[in-house]
């Protein structure tokens, strides 16, 4: 069994997992549409409770989310990039590419939000990043700018939830010291 450097958490591989953890892995693979168990999930494998909470949270979140499919990883990628979470940047960058986001746009999402187009996308992502980095600094104009782009209050609240989820995922991945998955690193892009 391999352990993660620094944190010392064991990486529970599917073939080493007890039956309950193995089922959780299967559920999470299906939920994410992946053919492998992610390193982040394997790092949670020694705590069936933590893995169950994470699976249930992600399942509930993505079952009820109504935002455009590509917007979700774009927001999460921008937040991960802003927070310097290598693991989440790699994962969400891969999901963005799989949904047709080109490398030029990814570069702007990570390093040059002011030049993201169209304007609606830029305003939404700038708002989400501000939510994740400085929620106390949000002012009425921030919300109004997003609403002016035709974003409903329902969508606005989902964007805020995505910002919180981005922070949660970044904190989790960085705290367990999850290493980027080779499968994500080798995806075309």
Q: Output the six-digit token pair for 142.
A: 């921030």
* CA 162 distance to own-chain centroid: 8
User: Which pLDDT band, with edges at 50, 70 and 90, does 189 fall under?
Assistant: low
State percent of the chain over pLDDT 70: 99
Give the mean model confidence (pLDDT) for residues 49-61: 95
Confidence class for position 41, pLDDT limits 50, 70, 90: very high
Summarised one tens digit per residue, pLDDT across range 105-126 is 999 999 999 999 999 999 999 9
Say yes or no to pLDDT of 62 above 80: yes
- The predicted-structure confidence for 116-160, as pLDDT tens digits, reads as follows 999 999 999 999 999 999 999 999 999 999 999 999 999 999 999
**Of 50, 21, 38, which is closest to residue 87 (Cα–Cα)?**
38
Predicted local confidence at residue 5, as pLDDT: 87
Give the pLDDT mean for 89-100. Answer: 95
Reference 12, options 72, 21, 20, 82; nearest CA is 21
Residue 42's pLDDT is what?
Answer: 96
Segments making up each domain of the chain, as ranges? 11-64, 71-185
For residue 1, what pLDDT band results from cuts at 50, 70 and 90? confident
Contact 81, 181 (CB under 8 A): no
Residue 116 main-chain phi, psi, to 5 deg: -75, 135
- 61-65, 89-93, 182-186: which range is least confident on average? 182-186
Q: In the chain, where do the E strands start and end?
A: 2-3, 10-11
CATH 3.40.50.720 for domain 71-185, yes or no, is no
């Amino acid at each position: 069994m391999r352990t993660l450097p620094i944190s010392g958490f064991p990486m529970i591989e599917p073939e080493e997992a007890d039956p309950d953890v193995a089922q959780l892995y299967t559920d999470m693979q299906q939920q994410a549409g992946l053919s492998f168990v992610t390193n982040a999930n394997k790092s949670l494998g020694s705590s069936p409770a933590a893995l169950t909470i994470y699976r249930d949270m992600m399942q509930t979140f993505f079952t009820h989310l109504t935002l455009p499919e590509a917007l979700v990883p774009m927001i999460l990628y921008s937040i991960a990039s802003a927070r310097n979470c290598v693991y989440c940047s790699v994962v969400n960058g891969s999901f963005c590419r799989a949904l047709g986001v080109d490398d030029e746009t990814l570069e702007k999402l990570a390093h040059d939000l002011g030049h993201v187009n169209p304007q609606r996308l830029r305003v939404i992502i700038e708002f989400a990043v501000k939510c994740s980095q400085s929620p106390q600094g949000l002012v009425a104009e921030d919300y109004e700018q997003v609403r002016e782009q035709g974003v409903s209050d329902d969508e606005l609240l989902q964007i805020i939830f995505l910002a919180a989820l981005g922070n949660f995922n970044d904190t989790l991945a960085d705290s367990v010291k999850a290493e980027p998955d080779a499968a994500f690193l080798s995806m075309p892009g």
